[in-house]
Chain A
């Protein structure tokens, strides 16, 4: 049986030629899509009538063939498809979709927002790690700041059209969610099939050194890269929001790397109704315990900028991710006075979606839009309202004091005796409460232990830690100061730690705190 997909009209045509006695009109121009490696052999062996042309960039061979030539192509194992070369003008549009089902990311992911209606990502820079961007496309209005070649080849611009489409959904005028954001084009794809780890690492390094606010990565692999995931985490730790496509494998537990990184915002794709796309990779992640994807964006039949000017339609989690990056740009503009804006945005993307009845494994927290975020951020019940209430109090509470340090029984602040940072980014804290503390059978203090596994997202600052360390177990006042510290040897699963001798300026009591050396150095 032939492996080639053949235009049925051609089959009829050549069948008619074969049965016809007349030799007149017994050839036909055909276009055969074939495997590049076999092109040379096929050109040599094909019984063509007249010269045959091979278009290597398209991997298409065009030739006039008779019935023998046609049969040769049909039977050849490396010929994928054969079309009528004389009817090429009849080739349908690349993507047949109903015109009325095509939307831009701007239309669906901004929605009818009130709170963010003036927010267009002004003053926000988005690093686009992709195939390059068609810099002079009218949709960008000169907002593609620079084109950084992370591949080291001699190419420029967009090598496939993918990056331009992605950048358009972020910042394109009339099509992008944040139409005044600026783009830093970080090209990691060259002429070949895929992008290399080192080119993507170079792009991530540039994102930090150029201080971008958001990174968009509409790329991935089904094979885990530990180095790349740790690099994404590092970028996120710098306060940059990293949006990464979940993958297009569609199956359960098929999240791609590096979207699987803990610090990445892993984006699934939905259609215009918020229904998860069949191709969108589903959670959980095969190699990590944390839940993925994080949220979903519009990624089916997305209209955005084309690398040949104008617009075109594409689908994929690649297309959903820039919509989220655009939302982030608008949020960051809105929160520009907030030092914790990055953490707030990450929280919103993991908590403020609309799942439309779908599971976390399909869409994470759900579809994210600026309209949907209105109620989370604005109004008395939203974050702004809560922040306002916080400001009106004399001593603002913080998450660490309220949820970690507070004694579960009496609700008073506990004394922090020991803070241990493990190399897997978890933190172990040993505490005791002045009122509720107990002694064991030998008269030693029984310490309560709290483990923060999701340390990077808890975002406890050094200042908050040091503040909690000052609480004296003797008088209950914040009077402890460091007297001297000494490094203590711990095995390799811990970061370096010190034992700090402390004294209280109020009651004169003395004690010991075991904490990371880094914290001890700051305290001293």
Chain B
């Protein structure tokens, strides 16, 4: 089984693709994330969920190493309806 890429590797991979949209789950406890992201990168702040939707430029990818971030994922579009196609 292949090992999970490290946080650094993931940031590097995102940077290599020029950045993009990421969904960030903030840690419920831990250092404040305030000021970590420029205002123009923040697409939405979902306060109830503790999630930020960001459009990060390539040079900003390493902000995702912040210890106040529990997890982040690149935007995906593969969620489908679960009806059986005839």
Contacts and interface: CB of A to CB of B under 8 A. Distances in A.
A247 B83 CA distance: 9
Interface of B: 21, 23-25, 27-30, 43-44, 46-51, 53, 67, 70-73, 75-84, 86
B7 to A, nearest CB: 13
Contact of B51 (A131, A205, A223, A316): A205
A114 B11 CA distance: 58
Contacts of A227: 23-25, 51, 71-73
Given A192-B77, A227-B25, A227-B73, A202 B44 contact: yes
A221 B77 CA distance: 9
Interface residues of A, number: 52
A495 B78 contact: no
Given A205-B51, A231-B49, A196 B84 contact: no
20 contacts: A189-B81, A193-B80, A194-B78, A197-B23, A198-B53, A201-B51, A204-B46, A205-B48, A205-B51, A218-B81, A218-B83, A219-B80, A220-B82, A221-B78, A227-B25, A231-B46, A235-B49, A238-B48, A248-B82, A248-B84
Contacts of B27: 423
Contacts of B25: 226-227, 230-231
Contacts of A316: 81-84
Of the listed residues B30, B46, B67, B82, the one surrounded by the most CB atoms of chain A closer than 10 A to its CB is B82
A193 B77 contact: yes
Nearest to B79: A195
A373 B53 CA distance: 41
Contacts of A218: 81-83
A495 B48 CA distance: 19
Given A221-B78, A227-B51, A496-B29, 10 more contacts: A193-B77, A197-B73, A197-B76, A198-B21, A201-B53, A219-B80, A230-B49, A235-B49, A245-B82, A319-B83
A95 B84 CA distance: 11
Interface in A438-465: none
B21 to A, nearest CB: 7
A231 B71 CA distance: 12
B82 A256 contact: yes
Nearest to A232: B49
A234 interface: yes
A492 interface: yes
A130 B81 contact: yes
